[in-house]
Structure 1
C-alpha cells in the first residue's frame, strides 16, 4: 500500500516537472514502472487542462492590465490637455489685461510728461522775466546797492555778510522717463530752493559793521591826494572786511564841521587831505570842492558797493574843533541846526545807505564862542546852565529835521544814533533816549557804545551784560529800535591800571571778549554790531579777537 502511494506522488511530481520543462513524458516516466498507462494518460490530460487554464488566466490578466494602462494614459492625456487649455486661457487673459494696463499707464505717463513740460515752461518763463527785470534795474542804477547781497538798509553800523546763493530749478533738465516715476520731483526741488532763500535772507539781515574814524585814515593809507592810492588802499580795507565776514562800513565824513566830499559849503577834512593840512587855518576859508583833488567819499562808496558792502556816512553834528579851545555849534540856535541839516542834505546826494550821528551833543565845556561866522554861544553863557530837559528839547528839534531830510532824499536810507553806553550821561548831555525809543519820526535805530567787558573794576562787575540789559529793557525800548551795539575792538589786549578801582580787567585776560559779546547781544534780540575801529584790525591783540569772532560768525 505504501509503495503504491509513494509511486503515485512521484509520478505526479514528475508530470509537473515534464509540463514545466517541456521534456517528453515517456522518457521521464520510464524509470517508474509502477504507474499504469491509464493513470498516466489521465494525469497527462489533467496537467494539460491546468496548464491551459493558467495560460488563459495569464493572458486575461495581461489584457486587463493593458486596458487599465491605456485607460490611465488616456485619462492623463485628457487631464494634461485640459490643464494646457486652461493655462492658455489664463495666459491669454493675463496678456489682454496687461495690454490694457500698459495702454492705461502709457496714457498716464504721456499726461504726466505733458504736465511736467508745462510746469517747466512756466518756470523758465518766470526766470526769464525776473532776469529781464534785474538786468534793467542794474543798468539804470549802477551805483545803487545791489539787491541780493546787501541786507538791511539800516544803520550806521550794519551790513550783510556773505553772498546770496541763487538756486535754479533743474526740472527742465530731467528726462520725461524720470519725471514719470515720481510726480513730486519738481515739487521737492522747489521746496529746497525756498528753504535756501530763507536761510540766505537770515544771513543778510544782520549788521556786521566797522567804524572808520578820521584817526584811522593815515594808518590805513587813506590820507592822500592821489585817487589811485586812495582807491588801492580802500580796496585793501574792504577785502579785509570781507575776510572777517563784515558787511557795513561807517565812514566818518564830517568830524569838525568839515567835509570828506567835494563840498561847496564846508572846508576839506585835513585828516584825509594832505593839502588841507598844509593850508592850516587858511583851510577853513576854502571849500572842499576846490581843495580836494578827488572825491574820497564817492570813491569809497563805489568800491564798497562793488563788493556788496553797505556804506553809512558818519557825521558829528555840533563839534567844530578840539583842543584847549573847543568850539561847538549852538544846538539851540536855528541857524546852527540849518547848517547841520545842509551838511546832511549834501551827503544824501551821494548813494550812501544812511546817516549816523555819534555821542557828541552838548558838552561839558563851559559855554560856546563865536568863530568864523558860525553861530555859537559865548563862554559862561546861560546855555551852560540849562536843565537837561531843555538840552534834550533843543537836540530833538535837530534830530527831527535830520530824519525828515534823510527820508525826503531816500526813503530806504536809514538814520541812526550811537550814544554813550551810560544812560544817565546821555540824558544829561541832551540825548533823549527815552523819546527816540518810544516815538516815531526821530530815528530808525539806536546803537549804544557799550565799551566794557564782563570783568570790570575791583568787584569784577559784568558791565557789558548790565548795560545791554538797561538798553534792551522793554520799558525803555518800546518801539524796538535799540537794534545794534557798538563794540570796543580798540580795547583788545588793554593792560589794566592796577592803581585804579575802575580798571577793566577783561581785555587783558581774554582774547574772545568780542566773540562772547556778539553771542550775548544776539541772544538778547539785537540785530547786529559795529566794531570801533578799523585800524585795530591790524594790531596783534585786535587780530586775536577777530580770529575768535570770525569763528562764531562763520557758523
Structure 2
C-alpha cells in the first residue's frame, strides 16, 4: 500500500531521496554480508546514471539470481515499517500502500492478502534478515535493471527515464510488481499513449461537473500516511499536529474536500476510549496514552478548512502483530483470545461469533455518538482472502440447523454485521453517512450472470464473503466506494467494465457511488499506469456517467509525492470546483 515526501520538498527531490535511500540500503546490505563469492564484489551500482562507490557490493542468491539487501536498512533507509518474527521466521514490510509478508523458505509472499510468487524469499545471513532488492524497489516504483556486460545494477527514479550508460537488460531478480493482478496470468497489454501535446500535469477540462465529494484515504497503520513514525516514537504531539495540518493544506490545494482517516487501524484507537487501547502508531506503544485527542483535533482542523472528515475503521483486523507480548492487556486479542483466528500469521476477529461482531459495532457506534464526524467508513477487511481461516468449530456451533454451506454462513455473518452496524450508527447520529469501500469486483459474470464482465482472480463475494450488491439493494449503506484499482488497458479487469457494473448496481437504490482510484500505481509496470492521464481519463469517465458523486484516492502519501505529475493534474482538473 511509496513513501510520502515531507512537506516542503519538491516531488522530484522526494523521489530522488527515496532512490538514494534504496541505493544506500543496497550498499549497506552488501557490507553486512562479507564472504560472498568474488564475482559479487565486481558488481557496480548506479542511481539515475550516477556511479555509487561501495567497498562491499550486495550479494546474489546463485540459484535464483536475486540480489538481497538487509531488512533493517529497509526500515532505517526508506522509513518503511518492518517487523521480524523469529518464531514464525516471517518478515513484514509495510510501505507504498502495500503490506507484505515473506516467510523464510516460502516460495511466495503475501501482498495485501494475495499470494505473489517469489524467486527468493527472506533469508538470514550472519544474524541479519535479508530481503530481495527488486521486490523492495518495485514497491517504491523504482526501475531496477541488470547489465551482464559490465555487471551493473541500475536504479532509476520515477520520472527520471533510463539511466545513461551501457544498454541494460532486465534485472536478474524478476520479482512481482507492487500490486498483485487479480487474475493469475493477465498477459501483456498495450498502454494507451498520453494525449499528444499535453505535458504532464496539464489536463483538458472534463465533460461535466467534478464529483461533489473529492477525498483521500489517510492510512495510520504502520504510520503510512500519518503520523510519522518519528513523531510516534518520540510522542511529539506538536509535530503530529503540524504534520496533519500540512497534509490537509496540501490535499485541499489539489482540490480535495474530504479526508477518510484510519482511526481504528488494528483493534486499537487514535482517540481516548475504554473500548480499545491507544494505538502504537500514535504513541509508539499500544496502550500508551497520547496527551491530546487526535480525532477531535483532526475534525476541528478539517472543518476549519471546510473539509469533511470521515472516520475509517478496519473492522476485523485484531492486531498489527501476532506477538501478543507487544499488545496492551486491554487489547481484544488478550481480552478475548477465543474470538481470535490466526490466518497467515495475522490476527483477525472471528466474524462468526455474534458477541465479537457486537463488540466491534459498539466501538464504531461510540465514535458516531461522541464525535462530529461526517461519516463512518469501513474498508474491505472482512474475511481474509489470501489465507486459510480456521473457523470450523465456530461454523459447527453457530450454523447448527441452518443447512447453510460455510461460504453462505460466512456471508450471512457479514450481512448481519453490516445491517446491525448501519442501524447502530444511525441510531447514534441520524445525520452521519455510513459507507463501505469493498474490493472492486463483486463477482465475475462467468460465475454469476449478475456479475461484471471481468475475469478477476479475487472477488468480494467469493473471496472475502462480502455480498456488497445485497447491501446496496437493501439500503444498508448511504454510499458504496468500490476500489476500482485497474486501468482501462487491464486485460481482465478493465476500469470501464467495472465502473459500468457499479453504476448499474446503485441505479435507483438511493445509495451514492464513490469510486476509489489508485494513484499509488502510477509509474509501475502494470498496464496503463505510465501516465497520470490514466486517472484523468477515469475521472472524465465518471463525469460522463453522471452517477458518480464521489472520488477517493489511495492514499495521501501517493498524491503528495506527485508521481507522473498527478497532483498537478488534479489541481488543474478540480480548479474551480465547489
- TM-score for the superposition, normalised by structure 1: 0.54
Rounded to whole Å, the distance in 1 between the matches of 2:558 and 2:377 is: 21
Equivalent in the alignment of 2:571:
550
Other structure's SS at 1:520 match: helix
Other structure's SS at 1:258 match: coil
Match of 1:366 among 353, 374, 388: 388
Other structure's SS at 2:352 match: coil
- Structure (1 or 2) with the greater helix fraction: 1
Rounded to whole Å, the distance in 1 between the matches of 2:303 and 2:382 is: 31
Rounded to whole Å, the distance in 1 between the matches of 2:472 and 2:374 is: 22
Rounded to whole Å, the distance in 2 between the matches of 1:301 and 1:377 is: 42
Rounded to whole Å, the distance in 1 between the matches of 2:501 and 2:210 is: 27
How far does the alpha carbon of each residue in 1:145-171 deviate from its partner, in whole angstroms, 9 at most, with x for none? xxxxxxxxxxxxxxxxxxxxxxxxxxx
Equivalent in the alignment of 2:521:
491
Cα pair 2:228 2:240 within 8 Å, conserved: no
Rounded to whole Å, the distance in 1 between the matches of 2:367 and 2:217 is: 18
Shift of 1:367: 2.7
Other structure's SS at 1:312 match: strand
Alignment of 1:223-302 (within 5 A): 223=232, 225-274=235-284, 276=285, 283=286, 286=287, 291-302=289-300
Match of 1:438 among 441, 452, 473: 473
Equivalent in the alignment of 2:435:
416
Q: State the structure with more CA Rg.
A: 1
5+ residue gaps, structure 2, are: 1-207, 322-343, 444-458
Rounded to whole Å, the distance in 2 between the matches of 1:292 and 1:368 is: 36
Match of 2:535 among 514, 525, 540: 514
Cα pair 2:227 2:243 within 8 Å, conserved: no
Shift of 1:437: 1.8
Shift of 1:308: 0.9
How far does the alpha carbon of each residue in 1:90-131 deviate from its partner, in whole angstroms, 9 at most, with x for none? xxxxxxxxxxxxxxxxxxxxxxxxxxxxxxxxxxxxxxxxxx
Equivalent in the alignment of 2:348:
328
Match of 1:216 among 210, 225, 231: 225
Shift of 1:434: 2.2
Rounded to whole Å, the distance in 1 between the matches of 2:383 and 2:508 is: 25
Call closer, same or farther: CA 1:341–1:377 in 2, change over 3 Å.
farther
Rounded to whole Å, the distance in 2 between the matches of 1:515 and 1:222 is: 35
Shift of 1:220: 8.7
How far does the alpha carbon of each residue in 1:460-499 deviate from its partner, in whole angstroms, 9 at most, with x for none? x67111110111125x6440425110000111111x2xxx
Cα pair 1:367 1:378 within 8 Å, conserved: no
Equivalent in the alignment of 1:481:
511
Cα pair 2:435 2:479 within 8 Å, conserved: yes
Shift of 1:549: 2.1
How far does the alpha carbon of each residue in 1:495-524 deviate from its partner, in whole angstroms, 9 at most, with x for none? x2xxxxxxx32112x222221111111211
Cα pair 1:490 1:533 within 8 Å, conserved: yes
Equivalent in the alignment of 2:378:
357
Quick check: 1:400 aligned with 2:416? no
Quick check: 1:541 aligned with 2:540? no
Cα pair 1:493 1:507 within 8 Å, conserved: yes
Rounded to whole Å, the distance in 2 between the matches of 1:357 and 1:426 is: 14
Cα pair 1:250 1:311 within 8 Å, conserved: yes
Rounded to whole Å, the distance in 2 between the matches of 1:531 and 1:346 is: 27
Rounded to whole Å, the distance in 1 between the matches of 2:274 and 2:561 is: 37
Equivalent in the alignment of 1:191:
none
Rounded to whole Å, the distance in 2 between the matches of 1:466 and 1:307 is: 36
Call closer, same or farther: CA 1:246–1:227 in 2, change over 3 Å.
same
Other structure's SS at 1:327 match: strand
Equivalent in the alignment of 2:167:
none
Alignment of 1:191-202 (within 5 A): none
- RMSD of the TM alignment (CA)? 2.8
Call closer, same or farther: CA 1:353–1:318 in 2, change over 3 Å.
same
How far does the alpha carbon of each residue in 1:236-256 deviate from its partner, in whole angstroms, 9 at most, with x for none? 011111111100100001121
Equivalent in the alignment of 2:335:
none
Alignment of 1:171-182 (within 5 A): none
Call closer, same or farther: CA 1:203–1:477 in 2, change over 3 Å.
closer
Equivalent in the alignment of 1:454:
488
- Structure (1 or 2) with the greater strand fraction: 2
Equivalent in the alignment of 2:313:
315
Cα pair 2:517 2:551 within 8 Å, conserved: yes
Rounded to whole Å, the distance in 1 between the matches of 2:274 and 2:254 is: 37
Shift of 1:386: 4.7
Rounded to whole Å, the distance in 2 between the matches of 1:205 and 1:426 is: 25
Rounded to whole Å, the distance in 2 between the matches of 1:303 and 1:491 is: 29
Rounded to whole Å, the distance in 2 between the matches of 1:471 and 1:378 is: 33
Equivalent in the alignment of 1:15:
none
Rounded to whole Å, the distance in 1 between the matches of 2:236 and 2:320 is: 27
How far does the alpha carbon of each residue in 1:340-396 deviate from its partner, in whole angstroms, 9 at most, with x for none? 111112212111111011111112332348xxxxxx97899999x954332221111
Q: Which runs of 4+ in 1 moved over 4 A?
A: 202-205, 218-222, 376-383
How far does the alpha carbon of each residue in 1:47-103 deviate from its partner, in whole angstroms, 9 at most, with x for none? xxxxxxxxxxxxxxxxxxxxxxxxxxxxxxxxxxxxxxxxxxxxxxxxxxxxxxxxx
Rounded to whole Å, the distance in 1 between the matches of 2:469 and 2:231 is: 38
Shift of 1:550: 2.0
Other structure's SS at 2:529 match: helix
How far does the alpha carbon of each residue in 1:502-554 deviate from its partner, in whole angstroms, 9 at most, with x for none? xx32112x222221111111211201111000111232416x01211222211
Call closer, same or farther: CA 1:387–1:462 in 2, change over 3 Å.
closer
Other structure's SS at 2:259 match: strand
Quick check: 1:389 aligned with 2:419? no
5+ residue gaps, structure 1, are: 1-201, 277-282, 370-375, 497-503
